[in-house]
Structures are given as C-alpha cells and as structure tokens.
Structure 1
Amino acid sequence: MLALAIVLSIVGLGFFCGLLFRLAIYALPTFAGLAAGLAALHSGAGVGGAITVGLLVSGAILTLGQFVFAATRTPLRAIVALIYVVPAAIAGYQVSFALAGLGMPGSVWQAAFAVVGAVVSGCTAFARLALLASPPDGRGTGSVCSPADGRLHDQGR
C-alpha cells in the first residue's frame, strides 16, 4: 500500500508540474482569460458566466495571436511573437525558480534552473504560436522525403 502511495504521489506531482508548465507557456491567454472572468464575476455574471467568459476570451486571444502570426510577415510577426513569448518566459522563470527552491538550498543553482525554465517556456510558447505559420519558402513542411516510399526527391537543386 505504501508503494502505491509513493507511485501515485510521483504521478500527481508530474501532473501538476506539467499543468504549471502549460500555464507558463500560455501565460498571456491565461492571464487575459482570468482577468476577463474576474471582471465578469464582479459585474454580476455568476460563476458559470465568469468561467464561460474567461474560456472564450483566452481562446480568442490564443487564436487571434496564431492567426496574426501566420498571416503577417516580419515586423508584425516579431511583435506578436514577443507579446506571447515574453510573458511565457517570465512565468516559466517564476515557476522554475519556485520549484527549484523546493529541492536545492543554493540561490545560484536556483537561478540557473530558473533561466533554463524561462528559455524552455519561451521557446515552447513560440513553437505553439507558430503552429499555423507556413514555412518561408512556401513549399509545405520542408521535408524532402516522400512519406510513402522514404526516397529523397529532387526539388530542382
């Protein structure tokens, strides 16, 4: 019975760490949805209405950002990327710093792990934002292998 409790504790901690990582990646939509939900709650919408408004706003912010990132080119694309990546990196830093503080006493190592967490969160947020964006050459996914036979194709090079 004790072994089952230990295994379930590890699984639960892994689940909550994954949830914290996802919230850090989607920091801007999460914050926007939370702010809109709290505003709806304080205006008298009730708990159900506040949850609905929060989910709709966070989904709209994420979808709008992905659409603008995919539809535009360099200057606006860089601005949209920074708007989504910087809050994710800050949230990743804070989460990593707090989790590293649970297991290590030295503040230098805490900061080092927090910087790694910030970089990973920022890069993952950028990758999730760029899911809908086409490659710059416009040829598709950029693979030169055929999925059917695995042979390389000559692309006029």
Structure 2
Amino acid sequence: MIMSLAMTAFGLGTLCILLYRLASYGLPLLVAVGTGHLIYSQGGGILGSVLGGGIAGGIALVVSYAIFSATQSSRTRALLALAYGLPAAYAGYQIGVSLMRIGTPDSFWLYAVGAISGLASGITAVRRLIGTETAQRAAA
C-alpha cells in the first residue's frame, strides 16, 4: 500500500514536470500543430502532417531564439517574450485547473491555483528564452 502511494506520487510528480516543460514551449508547439493541421486538411496525409508540423515547429523555435539573441531592441525582445509567455501561461492555467479539479469542487481556490500555475508557467517560459540567450552570449 505504501509502495503504491509512493509510486503514484512519483509518477504524478514526473507527469507535472513534463507537462510544465512542454507548456514552456507553447509557441513552437502551436506553430507545429497549426501547420500539421493545415497540411492534413489539404490532403497531405498523417505522415506528411506530422513531418511538416515538426519541421515548422523546429524552425519556429530556432528562428525565435535567433531573433531574440540577435536583436538589441527592447520592444522586439518584449514582443517575443510575450509571444512565448502567453501560450505557456494559458497552458499552465489549464493544467493547474485540470489537476485541481480531480479532487476539488469548483471554488475560488481552484481558479486561484490555476492562475498561480499559469503565472509560474509563463514566467518559466520567458526565463528559458532569456536563459538560452545569455548562454549563447557567454559561449561566444
């Protein structure tokens, strides 16, 4: 009994970590899913949509990091950070509310924890974007 509780807690913790790491890459994921859906709806098939979406998401990730590290304009950096932070914050909010809804009825605290979760996820996405830029500058 104790072992199953420990394994459940470990599994749920690992799942939460994976979900929040995925949420911090919301913009490239959004580009990948949108492109894959477009390719599939135009008759590209499942394999074509997966490959095309993956390539488009990878290009969006690389290009956005390159723009962020190459530009000195604070407006461009703020817009790019906002483009990364908003999808991540929304995904974090949805993850937080969904996980809290498992054991909590609708209340103020359900949405408060969701908002805190979304805020933390958005900040994490922006920090990852800034962190990659500072790491690239340190290596150069």
TM-score bracket, normalised by the shorter chain, equals: 0.7 to 0.9
Q: Indicate the residue corresponding to 1:68 in structure 2.
A: 67
Q: Indicate the residue corresponding to 1:53 in structure 2.
A: 52
Q: Check 1:101–1:131 CA distance in 2 against 1; reply closer, same or farther (3 A cut).
A: same
CA contact (8 A) 1:88 1:118 kept: yes
Name the TM-score, length of structure 1 as normaliser: 0.75
Distance in 1 (CA, whole Å) between partners of 2:59 and 2:130 is 16
Distance in 2 (CA, whole Å) between partners of 1:45 and 1:131 is 37
Shift of 1:125: 0.3
Name the TM-score, length of structure 2 as normaliser: 0.83
Q: Indicate the residue corresponding to 2:80 in structure 1.
A: 80
Within a 5 Å distance, the mapping from 1:95-114 to structure 2 comes to 95-114=95-114
CA contact (8 A) 1:65 1:129 kept: no
Q: Indicate the residue corresponding to 1:42 in structure 2.
A: 41
Within a 5 Å distance, the mapping from 1:1-157 to structure 2 comes to 6-73=5-72, 74-134=74-134, 140=138
Ranges in structure 2 where 5+ consecutive residues have no aligned partner: none
What is the aligned-residue RMSD (CA, Å)?
A: 2.3
Ranges in structure 1 where 5+ consecutive residues have no aligned partner: 142-157
Q: How many residues align?
A: 137
CA contact (8 A) 1:66 1:130 kept: no
Distance in 2 (CA, whole Å) between partners of 1:32 and 1:111 is 28
CA contact (8 A) 1:66 1:131 kept: no
| Displaced runs of 4 or more, over 4 A | 2-8
Shift of 1:86: 1.2
Counterpart amino acid of residue 125 in structure 2: A
Q: Check 1:70–1:95 CA distance in 2 against 1; reply closer, same or farther (3 A cut).
A: same
Counterpart amino acid of residue 117 in structure 2: G
For the pair shown, which has the larger CA radius of gyration, 1 or 2? 1
